[in-house]
Structure 1
Amino acid sequence: MKRYVHRGGESGVAAYDTGPRSITIQFTDGKIYRYTYAKPGAHHVEAMKELAVEGKGLATYINQHIRGEYTARLK
């Protein structure tokens, strides 16, 4: 996984990994979740990928738009 570098200070996201149709996110509490085109949907997954690369607003986006809409909890 790639370390998430939040350009605005502290973040609840620690790391992420992207796939063609998914993003996997590790939060600072150690929990890991996978989000896919199936759930929460392609639009959200692609938005999260962009925010992850930019290092800006990923945790906020998840809190505001995604919440519990993940495909799988991996840890």
Structure 2
Amino acid sequence: MRNDSPIQPYLNLNGDSGVRGYAIGPQAIAVEFADGSVYLYTADSAGAEAIARMHELAREGRGLNTYINRYVRDAYAERLR
């Protein structure tokens, strides 16, 4: 996944998410948090099933922050920002 992949706004349907945006790549997702930090999660770092679920939650606009906190919090490959 390229560092210049555009960040899509996260819908935040629950209205209380710590996630601001995301960029989906093959077997990866970059997540921008409310504090402006961006973390890259990959199939190698978090597991392919986790990345697939994060893709779904990001597109749905609900549950991504909770999922990250519960299952993959420190399983990021890299802090991009």
TM-score range, shorter chain: over 0.9
| In the alignment, structure 1 residue 41 sits paired with structure 2 residue 47 | yes
Residue of structure 1 equivalent to 2:3: none
Runs of 4+ more than 2 Å apart: none
| In the alignment, structure 1 residue 28 sits paired with structure 2 residue 31 | no
Q: Which runs of 5+ in 1 are unaligned?
A: none
Kindly report the root-mean-square deviation, in angstroms, between the aligned alpha carbons of the 2 structures.
Answer: 0.6
Q: Which runs of 5+ in 2 are unaligned?
A: 1-6
Aligned length: 75
Aligned-pair identity in percent equals 44
- Provide TM-score, normalisation by structure 2: 0.90
- Provide TM-score, normalisation by structure 1: 0.97
| In the alignment, structure 1 residue 6 sits paired with structure 2 residue 12 | yes
Residue of structure 1 equivalent to 2:23: 17
